[in-house]
Amino acid sequence: MAETNLFHFGKSSSPYETIARSDFLNHKWQDRSSVNNVNQLEMIAGSFLKPSTLTEVKEGLKKVGMSVRINPYIMEMIEWDRFETDPIRRQFLPMLSEIEPDHPAMTIDSLGERETSPVPNLVHRYPDKVLFLVTSVCPVYCQFCTRSYAVGQDTETVKKDNVSSPKYWDDAIEYIRSHPVIEDVVVSGGDIARLKPAMIKKIGTALLDIEHVRRIRFATKALSVQPMKFFSDENWFRTIVDVANYGRALFKNVYIHSHFNHPNEVTPLVELAMRRLHAEGIYVRNQTVLLRGVNDDPGTLIKLNKKLGRVNIQPYYVYACDMVKSIEHFRVPVQEIQYLEREIRGATAGFNTPLFVVDAPGGGGKRDVHSFEYQNEEYGIIGYRSPCIDPLKTYYYFDPLRSLTADIQKEWLKPGGHEAILAELGLGNLMRLAAE
């Protein structure tokens, strides 16, 4: 592998031209050098941007639910001469002109995670699996984060719940221990890349020591946004390997779940990280969020899955963007998601072809995008049932307003319009019937 490929991605000009390779490949330097606000962005990349573009970002940031954190690795990945359309930039830096008015059904916690939380930090929605939220910080912040109610710093529009704190971990672990039905634990956040090795060991061994827990997954975006973490933070890496080995000795699975959205993110550094994990027998599955202007075309998705497959990362899910406030511009209509799925299935091995899912608003869980039982194309409403969670209920997802006619958009946005439409379509009844 050519050395230059690991650094600057072979670019001729870069905001980090003068940075030593040893710094760039060090996770600590990456953390220390992160861009956390517009002033820092201006200082580091100002010369790559038109003043009007910088203003666009500044004004955009006032409207969104996520704060900014971008490390130099991601800054390098952005193609600054096509800032407006760059798929990496779009995920991490908002621009005022691209933000769209929210669909009235958008909420701050679309999946109802806070309602299905029996103890702090734990979501128990499905019968035999739980989501354990161990931290609310990440190496970078994604503008489309599902958990913007908790993750990252406060913004002008969202004050964060402080949901993840080690003081609650014991209660969560105790809850899992006292519920033998739970076999599967997703350890997520936030990002476990922000946990100290001792904390990972504590959580990992405590969970694996519970007899009925058969599998755990560590969710981390570090593999895609800070791959150097897997070779410059030896202690952290070894701890994950130790927990995986401990699990293996108990005939249990410890996997990593990653979050790659675009083929440009699968870099030679990612391959290096994967070579280490692979050598240790640790498997990685990937979850992609389908994002308009980032990966909503068949060619990009096929390329992403093939590149992931090449480095032994298994594409697992592609999620419809959740109905979280201020991310309307990222959403794609359900019919288009179904089209994308049909286009990509068959392009590579079936086991490297992800399932396209809608995480049903209101806590229905992940549903195959094709498995809907109600559809109204005119109003952009799609209904899924989820018998394992609630056999009587139908859960609705709503297409982005931009995909509807101007008249129907107006109807949705009128005060009280949302309720009127549902009543008119008999969906108020449908939901009431379902609850009886």
Binding site for ligand SF4 (CB under 6 A): 138, 141-142, 145, 147, 151, 189-191, 221, 259
Residue 152 DSSP label: S
In the list ligand PLP, ligand SF4, none, the entry touching 151 (Cβ below 5 to 8 angstroms by class) is ligand SF4
Peptide bond before residue 190 is cis, with ω within 30 degrees of 0: yes
Residues 361-380 that bind ligand PLP (CB under 6 A): 366
Q: How many residues does the chain have?
A: 436
Residues 193 and 229 sit within 8 Å (Cβ to Cβ): yes
* Shortest spacing between CB 290 and ligand PLP, in angstroms: 15
Distance between CA atoms of residues 392 and 385, nearest Å: 8
Q: Which stretch binds ligand PLP (CB under 6 A): 126-134, 195-203, 236-244, 327-335?
A: 126-134
Q: φ and ψ at 288, to 5 degrees? A: -110, 145
Q: What is the DSSP letter of 32?
A: H
Partner touching 221 among ligand PLP, ligand SF4, none, CB below 5 to 8 Å by kind: ligand SF4
Given ligand PLP, ligand SF4, none, residue 129, with its beta carbon under 5 to 8 Å by kind, binds: ligand PLP
Among 61, 95, 108, 131, binds ligand PLP (CB under 6 A): 131
Q: State which residue, 131 or 163, has the beta carbon closest to ligand PLP.
A: 131
CA distance 330 to 347: 25
β-bridge partners, 381: 376, 398
Q: Which does 186 bind (CB under 5 to 8 A by kind): ligand PLP, ligand SF4, none?
A: ligand PLP
Query: Which listed option, ligand SF4, ligand PLP, none, makes contact with residue 190 (CB within 5 to 8 Å by class)?
Result: ligand SF4
CA distances from 387 to 127, 146, 365 (A): 11, 24, 10
Dihedral sign, CA of 85, 91, 96, 98? Answer: positive
Per partner kind, with CB cut-offs from 5 to 8 A, the member of ligand PLP, ligand SF4, none near residue 213 is none
CA distances from 379 to 115, 357, 375, 384 (A): 28, 20, 9, 16
Residue with tokens 């990440």: 138
CA 167 from centroid of its chain's CA atoms: 25
Which of 8, 129, 177, 252: binder of ligand PLP (CB under 6 A)? 129
Q: How far is the CB of 256 from ligand SF4 (least distance, A)?
A: 14
Asked if 25 and 7 touch (Cβ cutoff 8 Å), the reply is yes
> Is 393 strand, coil or helix?
strand
- Looking at the Cβ atoms of 200 and 404, the one nearer to ligand SF4 is 200
Which is closer to ligand PLP, CB of 125 or CB of 307? 125
Which amino acid makes up residue 256?
I
Instruction: Choose the binding region for ligand PLP from 23-31, 72-80, 127-135, 395-403 (rule: CB under 6 A).
Output: 127-135
DSSP tag of 70: B
Q: What's the min distance (Å) between Cβ of 386 and ligand PLP?
A: 11
**Is residue 186 near ligand PLP by the rule CB under 6 A?**
yes
Would you say 77 or 254 has its CB closer to ligand PLP?
A: 254
- Binding residues for ligand PLP, total number by CB under 6 A: 8
- Closest residue to ligand PLP, judged by C-beta, is 131
**Of these partners, ligand PLP, ligand SF4, none, which one is at the site of residue 138 (CB under 5 to 8 Å by kind)?**
ligand SF4
Q: With contact defined as beta carbons under 8 Å apart, do 286 and 308 qualify?
A: yes
Nearest to ligand PLP of 130, 203 (CB atom)? 130
Nearer to ligand PLP, 136 or 239 (CB): 136
Shortest spacing between CB 347 and ligand SF4, in angstroms: 26
Query: C-alpha dihedral over 160, 166, 167, 171, to 10 degrees?
Result: 100
- Report the relative pairing of strands 129-133 and 184-188 from DSSP bridges: parallel
CA atoms within 13 A on the CB side of 25: 17
CB of 285 to ligand PLP, least distance (A): 9
Stretch that binds ligand PLP, among 81-89, 128-136, 170-178, 325-333 (CB under 6 A): 128-136
CA distance 429 to 263: 44
* Contact residues: ligand PLP, CB under 6 A: 123, 125-126, 129-131, 186, 366
